[in-house]
Every structure is written in structure tokens, then in C-alpha cells.
Structure 1
Amino acid sequence: MKNGTTHLFVPGPTNIPDAVRRAMNVSMQDMRAPDYPELTLPLFADLKKVFKTETGTVFIYPGSGTGAWEAAISNTLNRGDRVLMSRFGQFSHLWVDMAQRLGLEVDCIDVEWGEGVPVEEYQRRLGDDRQGRIKAVFATHNETATGVTSDVAGVRKALDAAGHPALLFVDGVSSIGSIDFRMDEWGVDLAVTGSQKGLMLPAGLGILSVSEKALEAHKQSRMERCYFSFEDMKASSTTGFFPYTPPTQLLHGLRASLDLIFSEGLDNIIARHHRLAEGVRHGVHAWGLRLCAKEEKWWSNTVSAIVVPDDIDARHVIANGYSRYRTSFGAGLSKVAGRVFRIGHLGDLNEVMCLAALASAEMSLRDAGAKVEAGSGVAAAQEWYRAEIAGNLQPLQVQAA
């Protein structure tokens, strides 16, 4: 029997709000109709608010965050260009791999998984680059594989301290719309996200925000591109159209998602993600377990990667959750496979949903042989949430019967 809800606590795709699902249940439209821009032009404008940019240009690609990565590279750099990158998880690794396969000369700093972008080392290497050979600096804002958030503002300070003109690329796939991100203030030149994380949509949109500086760099780029061409996208999107068939239903869903985001308020959403993540972390620590993120400064507010005891295989924990308790947790990837499982806590969720994730994880851990006290993590998170919510509420006014 499969009564009730199947629980999804992977770090993406995330849960889709009912309002967003309903918005996508529309008939197909004529993508060349004269009123089509009434749907699309406000989307481009409102996405700029999510990226916190007034001067950037937003492109929406039918694809994924990975496609937007490729668009960012292929439209602003040239084969043989030297770029500074760091690798500290599966997704930062994949970005390095893409850069190499596209013909860039990658100066890659390997960092222990559980740490983030090495800002001090970035500054040292940028300062040593007197000839300006480094054309771009890449930073993975939130490494989903290890639950690590890096200091993008610190990377900008490193660039400025070195007086370096390199472009700043940021992977914000699992951060933008959930964790504080400020494109203009931090001097980010190319910021990438996807529809299936904080935007609470199905996978299918790769979204890229591009600074004026990056658009200037585009004029000097000769790398091969076709589908991801800035020229084609810019020529069409300024009038509200696309150079190829757009995913119209997803765009209707994006409209509903953005409406929900603005209704709650982006700053409130960022605060909610911190509050929910803290509750999960209280639960993990009550189990006597630790996070993959090595220090508190790295803790992610969108995903917690939890290290299991040495005698436990995290894959068994994940399998128990899925087969016994109808709960999906994120798997450990690459170097941390079998060593961690991940609880995604981003997008459309609340305190009680996080408590459900912890309750299922407790049972799954115990079934796998972990010596975790039943109810300990849930109780710790409950007290955190109760205190946080009480601290933000006005006293209840109870009327006499």
C-alpha cells in the first residue's frame, strides 16, 4: 500500500508547489504570437531581481544549469585561455572537466572535500599573475555534493586586492533563490542557476545572468557555439521571443514561482532557509554525527551532507529510506560515495517537512545499524524550531468563549 505522501529530500529536483504545477497545466501556445512577450518579458525582468542585478542581462535556455555553464564559457572565453578554478566536490569537479574539454588552460586548486573556495590562495595566484594571463576566475557558490557554501564576496575582494581584471564566474545552481547572492554588489560577471532548485520548477531551464563586462568580453570570444549563442539569444529575448522552440509550460510555471518568491520576499526566503537548515543541523549533531562540511563557515543552508559512522554504509541508509519509508535522500557522490547521505532542505518546504526528513533518517540509520537514539534528532530540531518561531510571533490573543 502506498498511502499518503512520498517524501523528496534530495537537493534537487525539489518539491514543486501546487500553484506552480497548476500554472504549467495549460494548453500549448503559439510561441510566435504577438502577445507571447506578455508572458516572457516580465520573466526576464523579474529574474534580475532574484539575481540582485540592475545592469545584468538574463538569458533563459531550454536545458539545465550545465547548459548554462557551457553558454557562459563558450560566449566569453577562447580556447587556450587560462582560468583559475578550485575543485572540492563533484559539481566543482564537473565544471573543471567542462572547462578542460572546451579547451581552456585550467589552473585548478584541489581542496579537501568539505571545504570551499580557497579565497586566500586565489588572491595569492591573482597577485602573482602580473601579465594578466588569467582571464576568468570560477567559484562554485554552493557545492551540493558536500553541503559547502563558499564566500563569493571574498573572491571579489581577492580580485580587487590584486587589481586583477579577470571575469568572475559563479555556479549558483543550488544557491540562487535560497542563499544570499548579490550579483551587482559582488561584481559577478556570469551567474548560473537552474529551474529545479530554489526556483521550485521541474528541470529544464538553464538560467544565466551576464554583466556588461562579460558582454564586452563576448565581443572578443571566438569559441565555437551555436545553440548557446549570446547573439541569437539577445536578438530574440529583447523582444520577448526565443531563437528556437521555448518550453512554454515551464515559463508559465516560472511566472507562478516568481510570484510566490516575491510574495514571501527574497530576504525572508533566505532567512527561512537558514532557519530550516539550522534545525536539521541540530538534529544531526544530536545523533552524534557530523557534517561533511569541515567548519561552520562552510555550512550550507540548502543541503546537509551527513557523514555516517565508519561501520555504516550510507547507501544502506538511503536504500532503507526509499524502500521502507518512502523517502528519497541524496546519495554520496564520487569520493564520498557510501560515506555520506544528503538531506536537501531548499525550495518549497517548512519546519514540519524537515522534521519528517529527520524522523525518516533516524529510522533509516537505525535500520542500517547506526547507534542513534530514536527521536533524538527530531527532538533537537523541534526545540530549535519552536524557539525560533516563538521568537518571531506576536503573543496570541485568546478570546473568551
Structure 2
Amino acid sequence: MPGQRGLFIPGPTNVPQAVRLAMDISMEDQRAPDLPSFTLPLFADVKKVFKTDTAQVFLFPASGTGGWEAAMTNTLSPGDKVLIARFGQFSLLWADMCTRMGLEVDVVDVPWGEGVPVEIFAEKLKADKAHAYKAVLVTHNETATGVTSDVAGVRKAMDDAHHPALLFVDAVSSLASIDFHMDEWKVDICVSGSQKGFMMPAGLAILAVSEKALAARKAAGMRRCYFDFEDMMKTNKDGFFPYTPPLHMLRALRAATDLLLSEGLENVFARHHRLAEGVRQAVSAWGLRLCAAAPKWHSDTVSAILLPEGFDSAALVRHAYTKYHMSLGMGLNKVAGKVFRIGHLGDLNEIMCLQALAGAEMAMRDLGVPVTAGSGVGAAIEYYRGATASSALKNAA
């Protein structure tokens, strides 16, 4: 089919031309004497995306799952107790990894459509007088359900309880898209990946690690090798890596970071909120509901949209792919067959979001879902017209 396939899954996201071109290079010497002039400023600028002055950035050739493993193996010991909420496929997988790695996992199950239950966490932390919890794990943005949780609220609960546990955050589908304050929220390890807000191919686990977490590695009893912070620290300080790094991906990260910082992080966050709100206006106009149970949970990077009873969201996603040359996100696990997902993050603008809404609307009508032609697209158009104009005026001022 002519034209470019519409990619509207919540990652991998569209890769900007500047990032693609940055990767299209001849192979480089990973031990070249001038490599640190490239890598050291890159480490420093990636820290800005996390909003941290004090944490250390680590770049592992891996997915976000590898980042989770690095976080735990470098700071915890077998049998350590951790607290986590399970409310979607990715928080579920993180909890499963903890169990498989021999940790004692206190799982708080939450309805899929809600986020981290800050009040329950607060009660558990206050009751833990012996400080058995060694880490609190928070999935900032649950990609499966389109839910964003309150990391700042969790930090406040920890501080109110005077609890010394480490705070780990999965920000794979939120960093560089939704505002994140590593230093202000006293996050000890933040895990992200290259294929979402950083607008790159999958392949880099991007972590920021606090001084407290780095100190915890000295007593951590888990075995580690490939993901050992110690090996990275010894070589990263001079601008090198303990093994052959994927330099084409680091060149892409340089280009992606430049794009983010040149747009301005606050503008990036405002753009993502504006695009997401247009999608939410469309969902409402269709007469449908989000999986996110209340506005306080709404994600600005992905919307999981519930189809009416009797309709199969997997069939809808397949139909959109084959007939309209576009990719939508499928429902996962408990919401499989119930929701389809529109990813609205990364290298994206209003016109591209309207493409996603138009394709979804056509596919739904083809399958008999009772939505009125043009209703969602029209609602989004009217919202974007006003919101984009307001944004342009602010930028001009």
C-alpha cells in the first residue's frame, strides 16, 4: 500500500529524521581517544531529562526490563522485602521479576484502570516499624491501561513514615513525555527506555541512579555481571564502557536529547498533554470510556479505550492494520479483547493524532461499533484548534 504506515502504538514510537540520520554512520572505534568528548556531555545532558543534578546516568544495551533487573541486582539481596502495586501488565511483570529473583514481594492488587494506591502504601509504610521494606516500586505510567500514578505522593508517604526504603520508578513510557522530577521526588532509581519518549529504536535501557542507591550496591547480595553498576562506573567516569557499546544508538540518543532540550522540556510536556486531551475529547464524543477509571489517572502518553460489550478489540486492531495500514495497541492480559490503545507520545503532532483517530473511527464503524462518523475526529479538531492557538500565543509571548 502506498504511503507510510501509521504507527500509533505506545512504543516503539516514530523516529524523527534527525535521529535516524544520526544512526546512519560508519562503525566507530569504541576506544578512540576522543570518544569522551562525545560521551561525557551526553551523560550530562541526559541527566537534564530526568531533572537531576546528583544522580548518575547509566546506558545499558537492553530493554526497560533489563533496566529493572539492573536496579534490583545492584541494590538488593535475596530475601529482601519490596512493596509494589499491580494494576496492569507492566507492573505485573515487574512484580513477577521480583519474585523470580528471590525477593519477598508484598503485592497490592488494584483494579486495572487505577494506579498506585498512595493511601494503602502510606499505611503499610507507617506500620513497617522494623523497616523490612528495602524498596518501594512504582510504575509511573502503566502502558497497558493508560494510567499515570502519583510518584510525588508515594515519596510524601515514605517521608511521612520516616521510611528509609529505596524508591524505584519505572518511567519507561513517561520519561521525556510526562513531567518527572527525580531530585525533587527523591527517586533512587528511575528506569526508562529508548523507544518511547526518547523517539529511538528499542535497545537502550536508560537509568538514573541516586547517590543513596549507588551506596546500597556495596551491601547488595544479588549476583550480577552484565548489569553491574561498578563496572560501568569505573569506565564511564572517563567516557568509556566496560564492553563494546552500541555507538550508533548513542549517536541517536545525542540527537534525540538535542531535540527534547531544544523544544524545551516544559513545552514537550505541554504538547503531550494537549495531544492526549484531544484524544480524550474524541473518546467522549464517540460515547466510549477510557480504561483509566478517573481523570486523576489519565495518561498523557497512551489512551486505553474500552469497546462496548460484545465487540472484540483484538479484531479491531487487526482490521485497522490490514485495511487502513495503521497500527493501534492491543489490549493485554486482563484487558485483552476489551480495549484498544492509541499511543500519543514522542515525535507527534495534532495532525498525526487526527490520523490515528480517523483510522480508529473508520475501523470501528466497519465492525459495527456504534460511533457516529466524524464525531471523534470533529471533537478533537475543535479542541486542537483552540489549544494549539493558545499554545502558539504563549510561545510567542
- Shorter-chain TM-score: which interval? over 0.9
Map residues 131-170 of structure 1 onto 2, 5 A cutoff.
Answer: 131-170=130-169
Map residues 118-129 of structure 1 onto 2, 5 A cutoff.
Answer: 118-129=117-128
Matched, 1:55 2:54: yes
Residues 64-114 of structure 1 show CA distances to partners (whole Å, capped at 9, x for unaligned) of 111010000000000000010110000000000001111100010000000
Residues 278-311 of structure 1 show CA distances to partners (whole Å, capped at 9, x for unaligned) of 0000001100000000000000000000000101
Q: Quick one: which amino acid aligns to residue 366 of structure 2?
A: D
Aligned partners of 2:393, 2:41: CA distance in 1, in Å?
A: 36
Secondary structure of 1:76's partner? coil
TM-score (norm: length of structure 1): 0.97
Q: Quick one: which amino acid aligns to residue 98 of structure 1?
A: M
Secondary structure of 1:343's partner? strand
Matched, 1:46 2:48: no
Secondary structure of 1:301's partner? coil
Secondary structure of 2:74's partner? helix
- Label 1:218 to 1:390 Cα distance change in 2 as closer, same or farther (>3 A): same
> Where does residue 9 of structure 1 map in the other structure?
8
In the TM superposition, residue 115 of structure 1 has moved relative to its aligned partner by 0.2
Matched, 1:305 2:304: yes
> Where does residue 253 of structure 2 map in the other structure?
254
Aligned partners of 1:204, 1:40: CA distance in 2, in Å?
A: 17
Gaps of 5+ in 2: none
Map residues 163-178 of structure 1 onto 2, 5 A cutoff.
Answer: 163-178=162-177
> Where does residue 238 of structure 2 map in the other structure?
239
Q: Quick one: which amino acid aligns to residue 311 of structure 2?
A: I
Map residues 279-290 of structure 1 onto 2, 5 A cutoff.
Answer: 279-290=278-289
In the TM superposition, residue 394 of structure 1 has moved relative to its aligned partner by 4.7
Aligned partners of 2:68, 2:18: CA distance in 1, in Å?
A: 29
Aligned partners of 1:391, 1:184: CA distance in 2, in Å?
A: 31
Gaps of 5+ in 1: 396-401
Residues 14-52 of structure 1 show CA distances to partners (whole Å, capped at 9, x for unaligned) of 000001001110000000110111221111111110000
In the TM superposition, residue 393 of structure 1 has moved relative to its aligned partner by 3.6
Task: Please report the RMSD computed on the Cα atoms of aligned residues, expressed in angstroms.
Answer: 0.9
Aligned partners of 1:350, 1:336: CA distance in 2, in Å?
A: 28
> Where does residue 100 of structure 1 map in the other structure?
99
Aligned partners of 2:64, 2:18: CA distance in 1, in Å?
A: 23
Matched, 1:67 2:101: no
Q: Quick one: which amino acid aligns to residue 233 of structure 2?
A: K
Map residues 328-339 of structure 1 onto 2, 5 A cutoff.
Answer: 328-339=327-338
Secondary structure of 2:341's partner? strand
Number of residue equivalences: 394
Aligned partners of 1:393, 1:331: CA distance in 2, in Å?
A: 34
Q: Quick one: which amino acid aligns to residue 265 of structure 1?
A: G
In the TM superposition, residue 4 of structure 1 has moved relative to its aligned partner by 1.3
Does the 8 A contact of 1:317 with 1:367 survive in 2? no
In the TM superposition, residue 390 of structure 1 has moved relative to its aligned partner by 2.0
Matched, 1:266 2:274: no
In the TM superposition, residue 264 of structure 1 has moved relative to its aligned partner by 0.2
Aligned partners of 1:39, 1:323: CA distance in 2, in Å?
A: 43
In the TM superposition, residue 391 of structure 1 has moved relative to its aligned partner by 2.1
In the TM superposition, residue 392 of structure 1 has moved relative to its aligned partner by 3.2
Secondary structure of 1:188's partner? coil
Aligned partners of 1:389, 1:314: CA distance in 2, in Å?
A: 31
> Where does residue 194 of structure 2 map in the other structure?
195
Aligned partners of 1:260, 1:85: CA distance in 2, in Å?
A: 34
Aligned partners of 2:71, 2:30: CA distance in 1, in Å?
A: 25
TM-score (norm: length of structure 2): 0.98
Q: Quick one: which amino acid aligns to residue 247 of structure 1?
A: P
